[in-house]
Amino acid sequence: MYGSDSERPRPGARTAGGGARRTAARSRLAAGGACVLAAALLSGCSSDPGSGKGGDSAGGGGQGQRPKSVTPYWVDPRSNAARQADAYREDGKARQAEQMRKIAEQPVAEWIGTEDPGGQTRKVVGAAAKADREALLVLYNLPHRDCGQYSKGGAPDAGAYRAWLDQVVKGIGKRAATVIVEPDAIPHVLMEGCTPEQFQPERFRLLNEAVGKLKSLPRTKVYLDAGNPDWVRDPGGLVEPMKRAGIDKADGFSLNVSNYQTTESNAAYGRKFSPMVGNKPFVIDTSRNGNGPVAGAGADEEAWCNPPGRALGEAPTAETGDKLIDGYLWIKRPGESDGECKGGPKAGQWWPEYALGLVRNKR
């Protein structure tokens, strides 16, 4: 889980808190099958960013906002990437500063932490409103999350989760926000041995409550996470779990959060799944999918974790050219680690070298 960003260290230092590493090839589910809830698990596990130029200068901090017609979301002038770019410039590293700006100039999601969820949410949503933009938020705090892997943890119980959620809801209030609800939570239910069966009904209740409470707000859009096309190969297996989790109340679903699957494969998958859930639209995380997934992923059980050679994908935009795709978003924050693998720091911590690689590897 990403911790609160209210007290960010100087770029180069490691931030506190965990992160949202994302399961992929190691936990892919084969095609077909009814969902766990119907008693049969899906089975067969296998193994150019925009420059930011042309935006207005709302929001302060010297960081311009992207034109609202391109993307409605707020650019944080004090993001880790923005601070890192400033630090590079101060150190006379003009080339690195210019490269880091390619991340800093784009809106990225805020992952709400546990230390002060209400305060963090109010701060972000308030800053976005002041800049005449919308906040992009991620909820990632369900109990028993992440199958005990790099981002394990979450709220200790259902009561704690509800209290945390209520603070987030109050923090948003009547201001504009888009919320991605609990990446991985539903696909993890479909993974044998991941989320114990006794906890599954509670998970669906909490997801449904989260969607409902968020949609009770006047200006909040909600996207319920549906994994990625390299994970649940047959989207039909997601239908019942997504319905139990509240997809009928949500604005749509999210794909590819913190993963590297191509925009094209996600778009095809989303178009196939959408008619199964009432023709709901969807958003795609393009923060790191510019070069697609790493080659030979089947030979690496942690191919999803800080793979080398990856690149920034399409810049955040609402102009997708597809009526079913509401936006390409940077939901995973480029430059934050997937976990302690391949030389990376703890999940969610800032890793400037990897961030620069995402820029330099862009084809």
Would you report the helix, strand and coil content of the chain in percent, each value rounded to 5? 35, 15, 55
Establish whether 338 is a catalytic residue: yes
Q: What is the pLDDT of residue 156?
A: 94
Residue from 141, 159, 191 nearest 28 by CA:
191
Q: What is the pLDDT of residue 297?
A: 65
Whether 65 has a pLDDT exceeding 50, the answer reads yes
Tell me which of 225, 251, 326, 338 is the catalytic residue. 338
Residue 342: C-alpha distances to residues 147, 304, 306, 337, 351 (Å): 20, 11, 6, 10, 12
Helix (H, G, I), strand (E, B) or coil at 220: strand
Residue 282: C-alpha distances to residues 71, 102, 250, 278 (Å): 15, 25, 10, 12
The 10s digit of each residue's pLDDT in 120-156 is 999 999 999 999 999 999 999 999 887 766 666 799 9
Whether 330 has a pLDDT exceeding 60, the answer reads yes
337, 351 in Cβ contact below 8 A?
A: yes
Q: In residues, how long is the chain?
A: 363
Q: What is the pLDDT of residue 151?
A: 62
| Region of poorest pLDDT, from 52-61, 78-87, 106-115, 159-168 | 52-61
Question: What stretches of the chain show up as alpha helix (H) in DSSP?
Answer: 80-90, 94-104, 117-130, 158-172, 185-190, 200-215, 239-245, 263-273, 352-360
Whether 223 has a pLDDT exceeding 90, the answer reads yes
Tell me which of 5, 86, 146, 285 is the catalytic residue. 146
Q: Give dist(CA 59, CA 73) in Å, integer.
A: 11
Tell me which of 5, 76, 86, 184 is the catalytic residue. 184
Q: What is the pLDDT of residue 301?
A: 78
β-partners of residue 284 are 255, 328
Q: Give dist(CA 324, CA 270) in Å, integer.
A: 8
Establish whether 5 is a catalytic residue: no
The 10s digit of each residue's pLDDT in 7-33 is 333 343 323 333 333 443 333 343 333
Work out the average pLDDT over 181-210. 92
**Where residue 40 falls among pLDDT bands split at 50, 70, 90?**
very low
**Where residue 158 falls among pLDDT bands split at 50, 70, 90?**
very high
Q: What is the pLDDT of residue 196?
A: 81
**Percentage with pLDDT > 90 across the chain:** 72
Q: What is the pLDDT of residue 63?
A: 62
Q: Give dist(CA 244, CA 31) in Å, integer.
A: 21
**Where residue 303 falls among pLDDT bands split at 50, 70, 90?**
confident
The 10s digit of each residue's pLDDT in 247-288 is 999 999 999 999 999 999 999 999 999 999 999 999 999 999
Q: What is the pLDDT of residue 197?
A: 85
Sign of CA dihedral 28, 45, 139, 322: positive
Higher-pLDDT residue of 317, 47 = 317
327, 283 in Cβ contact below 8 A?
A: yes
**Where residue 194 falls among pLDDT bands split at 50, 70, 90?**
confident
Work out the average pLDDT over 75-93. 98
Work out the average pLDDT over 219-233. 95
318, 70 in Cβ contact below 8 A?
A: yes
Strands 177-181 and 110-111: unpaired
Give me the DSSP letters along 67-96.
Answer: PTTT--BPP-TTSHHHHHHHHHHHTT-HHH
Residue 149: C-alpha distances to residues 27, 153, 275, 302 (Å): 12, 9, 33, 11
Establish whether 146 is a catalytic residue: yes
The 10s digit of each residue's pLDDT in 42-60 is 222 222 223 333 344 333 3
354, 311 in Cβ contact below 8 A?
A: no
